[in-house]
């Protein structure tokens, strides 16, 4: 099996790359800034080829958000031909739904919360997306003792009151900026996708701001690594 990780921030990707001592293939996506690392994971049932791809940087900042995620996923699928895509990253969540900072969750599905098309039900449905994740996700979540929740994606770190109402009405639990874009591209290519997210900040907590996100990022990235090690062992057992 060939697995491709799409990871927005290098701080989220670096623990995986360093743990597995992955080798970088420089300029694979040139002239675009996307970066690629690769490795092979051996399992009892065979081996998996695993890639990690990030969008790279512009203006000395990681390229976060839907557009870089969709571009990078499209390029990775066309050039690497993965059997499965995994979007691994951080997210916000809500304490009122039982979420905690540092908690790692697998997505039960993914939607956009900031693409509103009033007056046209068909386009409104297309705007929300509601993309499915890999049909083995629930079984894997049970095996690895990971919580599941619906990922909700938008192009901004903050959100309007209207967006929060839309998230709540559609069962969103994990708010971030890339997952639905990755799932959207995978749906067009008919490639299964897993979304694994670690909570960095609680949207309904008093300290909900960018400072809280940065303070918790390192710990969340470490929890992501632990979860992804388990995920790789689980998927290798299916190879």
The encoded tokens of residue 162 equal 């209207």
Higher pLDDT, 149 or 47: 149
Q: Which residues, including other chains, have CB under 8 Å from residue 195's CB and lie 6 or more apart?
A: 86, 87, 88, 106, 107, 110, 133, 151, 179, 182, 183
Band (154; pLDDT cuts 50, 70, 90): very high
Give me the residue label for tokens 């994606």.
153
Would you call the peptide bond into 43 cis, given omega within 30 degrees of 0 as the criterion?
no
What is the chain's mean pLDDT, rounded? 91
Stretch 233-237: mean pLDDT, rounded? 88
- For residues 188 and 176, give the distance between their C-alpha atoms in angstroms, rounded to a whole number: 21
Band (237; pLDDT cuts 50, 70, 90): confident
pLDDT of residue 44: 65
Determine what percent of the chain is predicted with pLDDT higher than 90. 70
Band (209; pLDDT cuts 50, 70, 90): low
Give me the residue label for tokens 């995920």.
231
Pick the closest to residue 182 from 111, 102, 117, 96 (CA basis): 111
Q: Residue 208 pLDDT more than 80? A: no
Query: Integer distance in angstroms from the first to the last C-alpha of the chain?
Result: 6
pLDDT digits (tens, 9 = 90+) for 59-118: 999 999 999 999 999 999 999 999 999 999 999 999 999 999 999 999 999 999 998 887
Pick the closest to residue 116 from 124, 108, 104 (CA basis): 124
Band (201; pLDDT cuts 50, 70, 90): confident
pLDDT digits (tens, 9 = 90+) for 103-138: 999 999 999 999 888 777 788 788 888 999 999 999
DSSP 3-state assignment of 174? Answer: strand
Q: What is the pTM of this model?
A: 0.93
> 25 with 71: CB under 8 angstroms?
no
pLDDT digits (tens, 9 = 90+) for 20-53: 999 999 999 999 999 999 998 776 666 789 999 9
132 CB burial (10 A radius; 0-12, 13-18, 19+): middle
Q: What is the 3-state secondary structure (H, E, C) of 14-54?
A: HHHHHHCCCEECCCCCCCCCCEEEEEEEEECCEEEEEEEEE
pLDDT of residue 157: 84
Q: Residue 236 pLDDT more than 90? A: no
Stretch 225-230: mean pLDDT, rounded? 95
């Amino acid at each position: 099996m060939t697995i491709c990780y799409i990871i927005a921030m290098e701080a989220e990707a670096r623990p995986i790359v360093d743990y597995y001592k992955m080798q970088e293939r420089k300029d694979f996506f040139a002239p675009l800034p996307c970066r690629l690392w690769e490795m092979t994971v051996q399992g009892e049932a065979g081996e998996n080829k695993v890639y990690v791809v990030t969008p790279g940087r512009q203006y000395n900042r990681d390229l976060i958000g839907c557009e870089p995620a969709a571009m990078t996923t499209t390029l990775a699928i066309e050039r690497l031909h993965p059997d499965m895509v995994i979007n691994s990253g951080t997210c916000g969540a809500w304490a009122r739904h039982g979420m905690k900072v540092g908690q790692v969750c697998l997505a039960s599905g993914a939607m956009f919360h900031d693409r509103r098309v009033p007056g046209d039900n068909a386009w409104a449905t297309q705007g929300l997306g509601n993309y499915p994740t890999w049909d083995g996700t629930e079984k894997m979540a049970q095996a690895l003792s990971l919580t599941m929740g619906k990922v909700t994606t938008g192009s901004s770190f903050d959100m309007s009151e209207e967006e929060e109402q839309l998230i709540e009405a559609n069962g969103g639990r994990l708010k971030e900026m890339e997952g639905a874009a990755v799932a959207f591209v995978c749906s067009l290519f008919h490639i299964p996708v897993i979304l694994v997210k670690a909570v960095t900040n609680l949207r309904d907590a008093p300290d909900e701001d960018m400072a809280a996100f940065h303070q918790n990022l390192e710990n969340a990235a470490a929890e992501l690594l632990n979860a992804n090690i388990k995920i790789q062992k689980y998927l290798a057992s299916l190879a």
